[in-house]
Structure 1
Amino acid sequence: MKNNRRDFIKQAVPAVAGVTMLSSLSAFSSDRNENLDSSDFLKRPQKFNMSGYAAPKLETVRIAFIGTGNRGSGAVQRMSKIGGVEIKVICDLRPEKANAAFKRIEASGQKPELVTGNPEAWKKVCERDDIDLVYIATPWALHAPMAVYAMDHGKHACTEIPAATTIEECWQLVESSERNKKHCMILENCCYDFFELLTLNMARQGFFGEIVHAEGAYIHDLLAGDFSKDKYYDFWRLRMDASRQGNLYPTHGLGPVSQVMNINRGDKMDYLVSVSTNDFMMGDTAKKLAATDDIYKQFVGKPFNGNMNTTTIRTNKGKTIMLQHDVTSPRPYSRIHLISGTKGTAQKYPLPGKISTGHEGWISEEEFKVLEKKYEPAIVKKVGELAKQVGGHGGMDFLMDWHNIDCLRNGLPVDQDVYDAALWSSIFPLSEWSVKNRSNSIDVPDFTRGSWKTNEPVDITLSKGGNTEVKI
């Protein structure tokens, strides 16, 4: 498939009509940009290795939030609980969303400026001199353009998932981060869930032996939300589902197992194959709703993404990862999170999480509690209970935000860097190409350009840092 990489880029990257708020929201057509050549990126040497990079310390992290419709509003509230943070700006196209986010922190004493109404206003926010970090929680198509613009204007960037929706955007993130020596942190909160942190710590200490296979997923029934008039502004997520076919949301399942397998830090993804079912639900839902509401007629006959996508990845060291994506079927929520090693196995779903060390089955609840105590991660010991009080998907969102701020304030490397953001997000367009080409294999780009061979894993040990306060 190496000879077909140029064809892949021509077919798999959609044209994005500008990077303004409104134009990007409508850029979900199936058009493909034919002016890209992936071989250009292969010729570009790494400008600077961001893996393990420690940016200069920031005693106070001054934050601008862009997008407070869904996830962003909760992030504003969480950040108001973290010491050494100054919330400077809340920016959203819709004034009511920015105001609602501000009201959630009004009692905290934070006094951010509200920037609303203008679809280009986010650029002015990124250009300001009083901002250190831009926190992006907008629709998917805006993540990469905003993160690149922020880094190019001297800001660190935190971006919601996926960090990019095209291979071109993935490379833009990498090159901007390297060029500006600014962190691009993907907000993959599932890496900070308690069982995932526990199994990562166990894996790093050799409990599972050599990890040979892992599985992750995003199985979450979002059918009603996709078609809701209120959940996603202007149906942006439905428009994506109506134009792209593959694993459109890979990072929840992929991020945690990639860290366990030291991907980008000792191993790399080699190639993948992907297969999808037909759509058996979204098209029918669109027809049913359109029969009584004209607003849904625009979605009738669209090539909706299939119910289930399964993607299999092989690594350079001969290990495998299986990912699944299903956001329409009436199935119980699951991210699977299975780790299979030469000495043991862990699996989170169906809940509760389980550990096995042999063929006899899962260890008992009492034995699990002993291991949980022995391998309790440092971050959980430090702020785990406080995180549960603050909230955000049970506390994992707060653990993620607290750790990112702690790294910036103490000049420490981040554990989810730009190479992770690009790689984990790239599975979206790569799986799309494979699905459209009878599940043929496609090479996975090495965004580290060979540095994976010498990059070291970044553990959340808190041996340095860990001094950022929490204000309940």
Structure 2
Amino acid sequence: MHEATPQNHEPHEAGPSRRSVLWTAGAAGAGLGLTGLGTPSAAAAAPQAPAAGPDTAAAPERHGKTMIGVPFEPRGTVRVGIIGLGNRGGSMIDLFLAMPGVRVVALCDPVQDKVAKAAAKVTKAGQPAPAVYTNGDHDFANLCQRTDIDFVYAATPWDWHFEMAKTAMLNGKHVGTECPLALRLDQLWELVDLSERTRRHCLQLENCCYGRNEMRVLRMAHAGLFGDLLHGAGAYVHDLRGLMFDPTYYEGPWRRLWHTRLRGDLYPNHGFGPVANYMDVNRGDRVVRISSFGTPALGLAAYRKQHMPAGDPSWKESYVESDRTISLVQTAKGRVIRLEHDVSTPHPYSRINSLGGTKGLFEDYPERIYLEPDQSNDEWGDFGKYAQWDHWLWKEHANPPGGHGGMDYMLVFRLTQCLRLGLVPDFDVYDAATWSAPLPLSDRSIRAQGAPQEIPDFTRGLWSKARPGMDSDRPAQ
């Protein structure tokens, strides 16, 4: 398996796009104040006032009732609007169209050719021609204002996720974004507050949580096979150098330019989400602090020197993003989670995906397991022999279509199933905010020589109560 195909859509223009100009102008401030979150004044501006309890970070006052345990409204047909039809959105639309009771109503991307190709897929699937929105970067707002959409899916460059999620909820839509949900703590808090006030779900659609191995380990952990959980690890280790310098894969250099702005973990969600699920983060435990360390930033410059011709625009870039970031996250129960990020050096793909407890451990890439009393003599066991612990989704869909080993299909199937049947989603806005928080906090920690940074309690103290999550029961249909 490989990474969730990066989400991108930049408009084709004769010169640099308005979006590129905007972010280039903001680079000195590390992207609209991202690095500024490490300064005392910016930290004070973020809504993290001291809380009543020692383990929680307080939230702003402008919020409503919790969204924990709130189901979707049941509906006969799920009507979807898709924003962003690049590599990710352009492939995920196939899965939405393959789902029972789902109709793709509207499409948005500034690149008209991409919208036309996606619209053709809709009509080929036997659905009515979708409405299309191609009038510049902000035409997504018009899509969100439609009254015939139930769920908005955003697969765009990272810096647009916050604005799109916010716009969707303000217009009464449930919304899901690709990684990350937002780039700053104040933005994460704003989306949590807005979800509560509007009663709309705001989800980080983390496909790796639906991987077969991840879901099997989850059920085994909850059944006590690993004993008392102690530690876990997750990562996004993927050599993206060739893609980031490819002039056609990403439209514009937006993905590579993030390496000129931040030093922290730019993509924590793929590794963090599954391990957080194993440990019932926000469902009986919570993450409280993170310490991060980063190597020098040498990989992209070395690749550029070897592969890019003189005069290429990339030669004007100075890279600061650590080639390898390593973060240690501690939970309220004292457990430790290790997160790693590296897309700038040569190595095989890995999400690490490990979990250890008092009875043994699992490690992925390659998959292997060591559990007492099944294994002994310091020899790894065969993880395939634990297939009886597969999640019901994988038992019912043994060979799912779509990318990334079938996890994309599982995500869309389960999401649309919850929407149709009026079920509580497998994860919520509190998980989305938690999984994205390491992005700004790891940058802050690295710039502070690894000093621990407090992770906010986005649940406002409700994390200590056990509740269902990814380890779901098969619904009656």
CA distance in 2, matches of 1:296, 1:289: 11
| Corresponding position of 1:73 | 90
RMSD, matched Cα? 2.0
Kept in 1: contact 2:85–2:115 (CA 8 A): yes
| Corresponding position of 1:29 | 27
Describe the shift of the 1:379–1:281 C-alpha distance in structure 2 as closer, same or farther (beyond 3 A): same
Kept in 1: contact 2:47–2:60 (CA 8 A): no
| Corresponding position of 1:399 | 410
Partner SS for 2:252: helix
> Deviation digits for residues 73-95 of structure 1, max 9, x if unmatched?
11111110001101001111101
> Deviation digits for residues 230-272 of structure 1, max 9, x if unmatched?
1222111111111111111001111000000000110111111
Q: 1:310 aligns with which of 326, 345, 352?
A: 326
Please state how far the C-alpha of 1:408 moved relative to its aligned partner. 1.0
Kept in 2: contact 1:45–1:449 (CA 8 A): no
CA distance in 2, matches of 1:25, 1:89: 28
Partner SS for 1:234: coil
Describe the shift of the 1:303–1:280 C-alpha distance in structure 2 as closer, same or farther (beyond 3 A): closer
Describe the shift of the 1:99–1:293 C-alpha distance in structure 2 as closer, same or farther (beyond 3 A): farther
| Corresponding position of 2:359 | 343
Please state how far the C-alpha of 1:298 moved relative to its aligned partner. 2.9
Q: Read off the aligned partner of 1:183 and give its amino acid letter.
A: H
Describe the shift of the 1:230–1:286 C-alpha distance in structure 2 as closer, same or farther (beyond 3 A): same
Moved more, 25-34 or 302-311: 25-34
| Corresponding position of 1:325 | 341
Q: Read off the aligned partner of 1:464 and give its amino acid letter.
A: P
Q: Read off the aligned partner of 1:270 and give its amino acid letter.
A: V
Kept in 1: contact 2:297–2:322 (CA 8 A): yes
Please state how far the C-alpha of 1:304 moved relative to its aligned partner. 2.5
Q: 2:449 aligns with which of 438, 441, 445?
A: 438
Work out the number of aligned pairs and report it.
438
| Corresponding position of 1:82 | 99
Kept in 2: contact 1:159–1:187 (CA 8 A): yes
Kept in 1: contact 2:368–2:381 (CA 8 A): no
- The answer to whether the aligner puts 1:217 opposite 2:235 as a matched pair is yes
Kept in 2: contact 1:384–1:395 (CA 8 A): no
Kept in 2: contact 1:167–1:426 (CA 8 A): yes
Q: Scaled by the length of structure 2, what TM-score is found? A: 0.87
Kept in 2: contact 1:195–1:353 (CA 8 A): no
> Deviation digits for residues 286-331 of structure 1, max 9, x if unmatched?
45666523422331xx242111000001111111000100001111
| Corresponding position of 1:144 | 162
| Corresponding position of 2:13 | none
- The answer to whether the aligner puts 1:134 opposite 2:115 as a matched pair is no
Please state how far the C-alpha of 1:173 moved relative to its aligned partner. 1.4
Partner SS for 1:161: coil
Describe the shift of the 1:100–1:43 C-alpha distance in structure 2 as closer, same or farther (beyond 3 A): closer
Unpaired segments of 5 or more residues in structure 2? 1-17, 50-57
Identity of aligned residues (%): 34
Q: Read off the aligned partner of 2:47 and give its amino acid letter.
A: S
| Corresponding position of 1:8 | none
| Corresponding position of 2:47 | 38
CA distance in 2, matches of 1:51, 1:355: 35
CA distance in 1, matches of 2:360, 2:212: 19
- The answer to whether the aligner puts 1:271 opposite 2:289 as a matched pair is yes
Kept in 2: contact 1:378–1:460 (CA 8 A): no
Partner SS for 2:234: strand
Partner SS for 2:413: helix
Q: Read off the aligned partner of 2:163 and give its amino acid letter.
A: P
- The answer to whether the aligner puts 1:409 opposite 2:420 as a matched pair is yes
CA distance in 2, matches of 1:263, 1:306: 27
- The answer to whether the aligner puts 1:296 opposite 2:300 as a matched pair is no
Kept in 1: contact 2:238–2:349 (CA 8 A): yes
Please state how far the C-alpha of 1:344 moved relative to its aligned partner. 2.2
Q: Read off the aligned partner of 2:271 and give its amino acid letter.
A: G
Describe the shift of the 1:456–1:464 C-alpha distance in structure 2 as closer, same or farther (beyond 3 A): same
Please state how far the C-alpha of 1:370 moved relative to its aligned partner. 3.6
CA distance in 1, matches of 2:194, 2:166: 6
CA distance in 2, matches of 1:324, 1:220: 11
Alignment of 1:179-194 (within 5 A): 179-194=197-212
Q: Read off the aligned partner of 2:103 and give its amino acid letter.
A: E
Partner SS for 2:356: strand
Alignment of 1:93-132 (within 5 A): 93-110=110-127, 111-132=129-150
CA distance in 2, matches of 1:355, 1:402: 32
Kept in 1: contact 2:300–2:319 (CA 8 A): no
Kept in 2: contact 1:415–1:459 (CA 8 A): yes
Kept in 1: contact 2:72–2:425 (CA 8 A): no
CA distance in 2, matches of 1:22, 1:87: 29
Kept in 1: contact 2:203–2:427 (CA 8 A): yes
> Deviation digits for residues 61-117 of structure 1, max 9, x if unmatched?
100000011100111111100011010011111011112223344421122122214
CA distance in 2, matches of 1:27, 1:193: 39
CA distance in 1, matches of 2:110, 2:260: 24
Q: Read off the aligned partner of 2:349 and give its amino acid letter.
A: Y
Describe the shift of the 1:178–1:327 C-alpha distance in structure 2 as closer, same or farther (beyond 3 A): same
Q: Scaled by the length of structure 1, what TM-score is found? A: 0.88
Kept in 2: contact 1:211–1:340 (CA 8 A): yes
Describe the shift of the 1:28–1:86 C-alpha distance in structure 2 as closer, same or farther (beyond 3 A): farther
| Corresponding position of 2:432 | 421
Kept in 2: contact 1:289–1:296 (CA 8 A): no
Please state how far the C-alpha of 1:352 moved relative to its aligned partner. 3.5
Kept in 2: contact 1:407–1:413 (CA 8 A): yes
Q: 1:371 aligns with which of 382, 386, 394?
A: 386
Q: 1:454 aligns with which of 465, 468, 473?
A: 465
Partner SS for 2:329: strand
Please state how far the C-alpha of 1:457 moved relative to its aligned partner. 2.9
Please state how far the C-alpha of 1:205 moved relative to its aligned partner. 1.2
Please state how far the C-alpha of 1:124 moved relative to its aligned partner. 0.5
